[in-house]
Structure 1
Amino acid sequence: MTEFTTTSRGDRVAYDLLGSGPAVVFVTGAGPDRADDPVTAETAQRAADAGLTTVTFDRLGRGESPAEGRLDLDRELAAVGAMIDVAGGSAVLVGHSSGCSLSLKAATAGLPVTGLALWEAPLGDPAATTQAWADEIERLLDAGDHENAMRHYMKDMPPEWLAEMEASPAWPMIARTVATYRADAHSLAWAQRALEDGTLDITVPVLAMYGTKTFPEMPVAAASIVAAVPKGTEKEMPGAMHSWEPEPMAAKLAEFTRACAG
């Protein structure tokens, strides 16, 4: 059943809390809320059944977490912090896609993160290129040009993904959801710069994962993250098309989270 909490920035966030034991908080990337993310929901239930406390939540401006105004990185980090609180005060963050860069940023921002389990972080371009991409998204969002902001956000993704969205009668509504991607763009630009500069100050264990059937840049990104942290492990896992398989993922999360909890 959906529960709600309020962040330190005054935003109301919807979440599901399951199980008991060492905690994990799932941090999704651009796009999904809980209602249209069955893979994460199943994984959270399986991980709870395996002895973890699991938290899934609707990021700001999505699902049952409506939010107005500029949804920047500070507000998203406050939401992650609130989810760690409801999980029991400390947690492993499970980042998916741009949720990986949000999770990395949370760990460097002083939040009580015990470990990072990262699935297919979309990193690898030069930092200047990523920053220019993020700056253009910022400009388009500030101008209220949601359709072109969405097109720009997705410019390096498989073109059929965007084509399917644009072909939908709901395209104008879909495009408006890009307003919730501002923090993703900010965190990706920050993470790429930190990797390039050698300033990714992460001391907790990091598990960087990618699927058995994935885009060629994903294993490269995982390797770059592992090389940048003192306690990093790279792992190929069952999965395809930027998503994991719930059963093996839940088992790996249970193993990793228990290790992080000592």
Structure 2
Amino acid sequence: MYRVKSGDGTPIAYRRSGEGPPVILVGGAFSTAESEAPLARLLAPRFATITYDRRGRGASGDRAPYAVEREVEDLAALLAVAGGDAALYGVASGGALVVEAVAAGLPVSQFAVYEPPYAADAAALAARAELRPRLTELLARGARDAAVELFLSALEVHPETVAAMRRAPLWAELTGLAHTLAYDLQLVGEGRVPARRLAAVRTRAMVVDGGASPSPVRAAARAAAQALPRGRHRTLTGQTNEVAPHVLAPVLEEFFAA
């Protein structure tokens, strides 16, 4: 892996692959550069892809206190590595980070996001408001296992699936990243679709959701796309929040190559 220093001196670890116009992939909760590697490999024949460990994850550093602006600076450093500008793709909270970066004026040629974790209805907003203090309290007292369980339940992961995950080696990786869930919550805030902020973004954009995802998630994706002046919306039939790279890659390739 390579490393670049962000604006506050924090080292950000990244990987590069492929040739062509640059695309930076921004992961969501529990993700690292390795998480986005399958998608990067599929895009590499057409694009120079950069995957990275967001701050506090993997081989990247961290510095307290956390601020969304620091993560935007991380992306600015990676854009410099990419040659000055690039396309961005972000999934879940990574999509929210992409929106923040573009709204902050970073040199982004175009961007796509998959199911950014916004809420478009009162029930979803209420659930988000209930989650944040509970998760913050668990993380404050070091209850990483409970924090991960709570977050997964908020994503509507079945309790039996969570129990199976606890018995698998993957669980240690999830709990090791638990502290970054607080970063994601701060990044998204109350969770409402930031329609006014999106309306000020003039960059070409695409918002994607899965056809098998919960209706509130899809409603939020549509609302975000509609708020973007140059936004388009795509639904991938049969996909959920765990979108299959081989299904997503052709859609991103078509959009970024246009």
TM-score normalised by the chain length of structure 1:
0.83
Map of 2:248 onto structure 1? 249
Q: Please name the residue that 2:109 is paired with.
A: 114
RMSD of the alignment, in Å? 2.6
Distance 2:209 2:193 in 1: 21
Cross-structure match for 1:44: 40
- For residues 191 and 114 of structure 1, the distance between their equivalents in structure 2, rounded to whole angstroms, comes to 26
Tell me the equivalent position of 1:156: 154
Unaligned segments of structure 1, at least 5 residues = none
Q: Counterpart of 1:225?
A: 224
**Aligned residue pairs, count:** 252
Relative to 1, partners in 2 of residues 1:193 and 1:100: Cα closer, same or farther, differing over 3 Å? Answer: same
1:202 and 2:193 correspond? no
Summarize deviations over 1:63-104 as a string: whole Å, max 9, x none: 222435444423322222222221221122111111111111
- Partners of 2:134 and 2:201 in 1: how far apart? 28
Letter in 2 for 1:202: V
2:22 counterpart of 1:23: yes
User: 2:12 corresponds to which letter in structure 1?
Assistant: V
Q: Judging changes above 3 Å, is the alpha-carbon distance between structure 1 residues 146 and 74 closer, same or farther for their aligned structure 2 residues? A: farther
Which residue number in structure 1 is paired with residue 257 of structure 2? 258
Residues in 1 aligned to 2:75 and 2:102: alpha-carbon distance in whole angstroms: 10
Counterpart position of 2:236: 237
Does residue 187 in structure 1 map to residue 187 in structure 2?
A: yes
- CA shift in 2, pair 1:149/1:69, >3 Å: farther
Structure 2: gaps spanning 5 or more residues: none
Letter aligned with residue 120 of structure 1: E
Distance 1:18 1:174 in 2: 26
Give how far 1:179 is off: 0.7
Q: Indicate how the Cα distance of structure 1 residues 165 and 256 shifts in structure 2: closer, same or farther if over 3 A, else same.
A: same
Tell me which amino acid in the other structure corresponds to 1:149.
Answer: A
Q: Which amino acid aligns with 1:114?
A: S
Give the secondary structure class of the aligned counterpart of 1:233. Answer: strand
Q: Which amino acid aligns with 1:63?
A: G
Q: Normalization by structure 2: what TM-score?
A: 0.84
Residues 112-159 of structure 1, C-alpha deviations (whole Å, 9 max, x = no match): 222221112232254565355334433443443433433333332223
Aligned to 1:59: 54
Aligned equivalents of 2:158, 2:7: Cα separation in 1? 38
Tell me, yes or no, if the aligned pair for 1:28 and 1:96 is still in contact at 8 Å.
yes
Match status 1:144 vs 2:142: yes
For the Cα contact (< 8 Å) 1:238–1:245, is it kept in 2? no
Aligned equivalents of 1:249, 1:173: Cα separation in 2:
25
